[in-house]
Amino acid sequence: MASLTVSTATAAAGGNKNKERDGAEVITGAEACFAHSKEMLKSLGFPGGVMPLRGLEECGWVRETGFVWMRQKAPYEHYFSGTGTRVRYDAEVTAYVEDGRMKRMTGVRSKQVMLWVPIVEMSLDGEKRDKIYFKSNVGIGRSFPASAFPDEEEEAKPKNEGEEKKENVDDKAAADDAASK
């Protein structure tokens, strides 16, 4: 069962991790966290498929500071076929977010040749904000088209009816041609 909690408790002395989370909207439960993370990404302008986290248990967002976290059951590796890149997400991913940008990221690494390189920032780039720039902890980065990170739900949707009907007509015509030969 999913739940939403708004934390306003003061962190214990020395609890830096807890201080970052004061005043957060905390969501628990796999479905609610998945929906919340998609909503957050889209509200920042990112495509829903840019962080395909699995088995989320808890996520939170401190809107005052922009601090977010997403905690999943176990680390997860994902291969983005649109970019030819393998990315590893730790059990907990954190960042500070603002419109079109996630900075001070932790828990995200990209495999480059033989090394896993930490990704510390991603931002929307280009005049139309149609590219995503990923920056490593050494300041080197790469850009990819935002279209390379489709939301899995959108990708799985059937084609619109007009295209489907056209394909059916083409398939029928091809079958008729084959039958007449």
Sequence-separated (6 or more) residues with CB below 8 Å from residue 163: none
For the chain, what percent of residues have pLDDT higher than 90?
Answer: 57
Which residue would you say has higher pLDDT here, 177 or 58? 58
Task: Output the six-digit token pair for 139.
Answer: 């300041």
Residue 141's alpha-carbon distances to 14, 56, 104, 135, in angstroms, are: 34, 28, 14, 4
Taking residues 101-108, report their average pLDDT: 97
Q: What is the mean pLDDT of the chain?
A: 81
Closest by alpha carbon to 145, among 77, 52, 98, 83? 83
Q: What is the dihedral of CA 41, 110, 80, 77, to 10 degrees?
A: -90
Average pLDDT of the segment spanning 106-124 = 94
The residue extents of the domains of the chain are 3-180
Q: Which residues of 139-159 are buried (b: 16+ CB within 10 A; e: fewer)?
A: eeeeebebebbbbeeeeeeee
Among 40-49, 106-115, 148-157, where is mean pLDDT lowest? 148-157
Mean local confidence (pLDDT), 98-114: 94
Q: What integer pLDDT is reported at residue 16 of this predicted model?
A: 61
pLDDT by residue (tens digit) across 119-135? 999 999 878 899 999 99
Per-residue pLDDT reduced to its tens digit, 144-172: 999 999 887 655 555 454 444 444 444 54
Q: What is the pLDDT of residue 121?
A: 97
3-state secondary structure of 179: helix
Is the pLDDT score of 108 beyond 90? Answer: yes
**Burial state string for 31-58 with b = 16 or more CB within 10 A and e = fewer than 16:** ebbbebbbebbeebebbbbbbbbeebeb
Q: What is the structure's pLDDT at 139? A: 85
- Counting residues of the chain whose pLDDT is more than 70, the rounded percentage is 75
Predicted confidence at residue 20, as pLDDT, reads 86
Q: What is the pLDDT of residue 13?
A: 38
Average pLDDT (84-112) is: 95
How much is the pLDDT for 17?
Answer: 66
